[in-house]
Amino acid sequence: MTTGVDFVVEGLTTIVSCADGSFRYVISVKNEQINIWLEERFSKKQWQSGFLSKEVYVTAANIFVDASPADYTACFKQCLDCLPVLDQTGDSQRKLTVLRGGKLQLELSIKLRLLQSVREVHYVFKLEPVPVERIDILESKLKDQQEELEMLRGQVGTAKHVFLSAESVTWSSQTWSSQKLEWKITSGEKFSLAANNTAIKVFCPGLYAISVLANHHPTTATGWISLEKSGAQIQRAAIGESNYCDSYSGVQKLATHNTGSSLMCIVQVKKDEPITVVCSGNSVIANTASYLTAVRIGT
């Protein structure tokens, strides 16, 4: 999604005209232009309109006199946030149509009521497919998981629920062959950092669901990433460079690129036990964070 925008609004929406109708949306406003971005939450496919001036989506039939792009953005958000109504009787409606070439047509409708009269205005956007990298898919899935955990946290109550969210943007040398991720806790008052921020300690013992997304650049063909508790390995993912044959020389060579690996497990954790993530045969990707989330199951 675009950076350097004036402001954004985002949320989740359900569109009943689609088989997998749950979407994440972001509306960005930049230099008086609007961009609408959609992501199908199940498949992680993405589309966007590109930044559009008012002349593209405003016509004589749907214009609001003196309305700014921010005003139109508020209307579009209302359309996307309202509860879906199957019989189209609601004051705000939305519809998504699949076009040729994988494109989508998004239609937003608003009913304006004045005394005994009703005026309905429509806005139509053509959304182009957006290429999605594997790292983007993994980060999106992790965001879905974080939102679901936050929702469960609200249902159970903060007094009984223990939740951790942490980010890592630097790695610390452990030995000549491996490194540990250094963490910054973004949410989780029941946890603390230790060992130069490479270990996360648990204050409340219990059964935990732990998830890690490590963004990295493989440097060998035998690399790995592991999740450890008190120095003992819980889970390990094997990763590395891939081989290919140089058609010109006939020699096997190594190819590498930025990628992401995920670990997920359910494990019993004692009080003050340290949780660490260790990498070997990889290097950190500049300006790209890795993530760890943990939630205690039960009370």
- What value does the mean pLDDT of the chain take? 83
Query: pLDDT tens for residues 168-177?
Result: 988 886 555 6
For residue 138, name the pLDDT band (cuts at 50, 70, 90).
confident
Torsion sign across C-alpha atoms 172, 174, 175, 178: negative
Starting at the edge strand found earlier in the chain, the sheet holding 104-114 runs 7-14, 22-30, 33-40, 46-48, 117-130, 104-114, 92-98
Is residue 241 pLDDT above 70, yes or no? Answer: no
Q: What percent of the chain has pLDDT over 90?
A: 39
Residues listed for the chain: 299
Q: How many angstroms separate the first and last alpha carbons of the chain?
A: 38
Q: Pick from 6, 218, 201, 36: which is nearest to 127 by CA? A: 36
Is residue 29 pLDDT above 80, yes or no? Answer: yes
Is residue 2 pLDDT above 50, yes or no? Answer: no
Which residue is associated with the tokens 């891939």?
Answer: 242
Is residue 96 pLDDT above 50, yes or no? Answer: yes
Q: Pick from 103, 50, 109, 53: which is nearest to 76 by CA? A: 109
In this structure, of 8-12, 168-172, 225-229, the range with the lowest mean pLDDT score is 168-172
pTM listed for this prediction: 0.47
Give the number of other Cβ atoms within 10 Å of residue 284's Cβ. Answer: 20
